[in-house]
């Protein structure tokens, strides 16, 4: 099986991907560059060891926005799993274009989202990735990444609010029915969580208005399951989209790296 990794600023999502392309098991770990390769290797072996029949890992493929952690993961993979880490990056061989002014600055995770959306949901698409940042990836019917938008992630924005105020409490996720909070917690939940859904729906409406009115909206990322059901514009929730894109990228590039 293939071990795929989406290395984000806060967390890394690991997935075991079958030969058929499905993500059979997934785990989340902290993207901590301070870990030693041996510490991370022990974690990887322990996670895989929880499976009834631990599989043979064919390769470890990572899309990363945290190069120092990628280096640690590469060493851990080589020492403890016996595989080299292959970095997922855009190349023309992926079969999609980066139709933007600064293609070299497009994150590998956004490239994976574009490829995943193109192959899993053909046609114009807007991928919303709810992570440390909330990204909007616009993908045309030919799979070209046209650009998008980046907004503060929900948890990051909330943490910034709480860290800069002396009297506001930390809150659990919540969606009060009324838009007028009667308690401080409700006020915060409305502002943070309902505010996030309005940002999503508002940006989607503007993108559709400027581009494709019928573009499918796909939500992914760690917070997608919590936030997307409250967004009227989201058509599909696919929390494995990025991992699927990484895996399909490996399939497309494998003849070149074999």
Give the phi and the psi of residue 71 in degrees, each rounded to 5: -65, -45
- The share of the chain scoring above pLDDT 70, in percent, equals 97
Q: Which of 109, 129, 140, 238 is catalytic?
A: 109
- Write the pLDDT tens digit of every residue in 119-137: 999 999 999 999 989 999 9
Which among 68, 137, 90 is positioned nearest to 253, based on CA atoms? 90
- Mean pLDDT over the full length of the chain: 92
Which among 112, 113, 111, 116 is positioned nearest to 98, based on CA atoms? 111
Is the pLDDT at 258 greater than 70, yes or no? no
Q: Is 82 left (phi over 0), alpha (psi -120 to 50) or beta?
A: left
Helix, strand, coil % over all residues of the chain, rounded to 5: 40, 25, 35
* 109 contacts 242 by C-beta, under 8 angstroms: yes
The pLDDT of residue 206: 98
Contacts of 113 (CB under 8 A, 6+ apart): 127, 129, 135, 137, 139, 220, 241, 242, 245
- Write the pLDDT tens digit of every residue in 21-80: 899 999 999 999 999 999 999 999 999 999 988 888 999 999 999 999 999 999 999 999
**The CATH number fitting domain 93-242, selected from 3.30.420.40, 3.30.390.10, 3.90.1310.10, 3.30.930.10:** 3.30.420.40
The neighbour count for residue 77, using CB atoms within 10 Å, is: 24
Give residue 255's pLDDT band: very low, low, confident or very high (50, 70, 90): low
The pLDDT of residue 84: 83
Task: Write down the H helix ranges in the chain.
Answer: 37-49, 67-76, 108-120, 154-163, 184-189, 195-210, 224-227, 241-257
Angle of helix 241-257 relative to helix 108-120, nearest 10 degrees, comes to 100
Give residue 4's pLDDT band: very low, low, confident or very high (50, 70, 90): very high
The pLDDT of residue 154: 86
Is the pLDDT at 159 greater than 80, yes or no? no
CATH code, 2-87: 3.30.420.40
Active site residue 109: yes
Average pLDDT, stretch 188-215?
A: 95
- 2-87 against 93-242: fold identical: yes
Strand partners, 135: 129, 150
Give residue limits of the domains in the chain: 2-87, 93-242
Angle of helix 67-76 relative to helix 37-49, nearest 10 degrees, comes to 60
């Amino acid at each position: 099986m293939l071990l795929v990794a989406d290395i984000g600023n806060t967390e890394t999502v690991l997935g075991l991907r079958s030969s058929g392309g499905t993500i059979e098991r997934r785990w989340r770990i902290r993207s901590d560059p301070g870990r030693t390769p041996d510490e991370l290797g022990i974690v990887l072996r322990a996670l895989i060891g929880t499976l009834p029949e631990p599989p043979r890992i064919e390769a470890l493929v990572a899309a990363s926005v945290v190069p120092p952690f990628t280096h640690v993961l590469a060493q851990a993979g080589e020492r403890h799993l016996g595989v080299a880490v292959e970095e997922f990056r855009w190349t023309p061989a992926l079969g999609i274009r980066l139709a933007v002014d600064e293609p070299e600055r497009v994150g590998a995770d956004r490239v994976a989202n574009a490829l995943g959306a193109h192959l899993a949901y053909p046609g114009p698409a807007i991928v919303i990735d709810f992570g440390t940042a909330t990204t909007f990836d616009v993908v045309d019917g030919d799979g070209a990444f046209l650009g998008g938008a980046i907004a503060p992630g929900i948890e990051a924005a909330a943490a910034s609010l709480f860290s800069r105020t002396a009297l506001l409490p930390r809150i659990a996720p919540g969606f009060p029915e009324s838009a007028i909070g009667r308690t401080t917690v409700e006020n915060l939940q409305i502002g943070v969580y309902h505010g996030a859904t309005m940002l999503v729906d508002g940006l989607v409406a503007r993108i559709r208005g400027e581009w494709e009115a019928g573009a499918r909206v796909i939500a992914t990322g760690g917070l997608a399951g919590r936030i997307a059901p409250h967004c009227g514009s989201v058509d599909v929730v696919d929390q494995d989209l990025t991992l699927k894109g990484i895996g399909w990228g490996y399939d497309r590039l494998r003849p070149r790296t074999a």
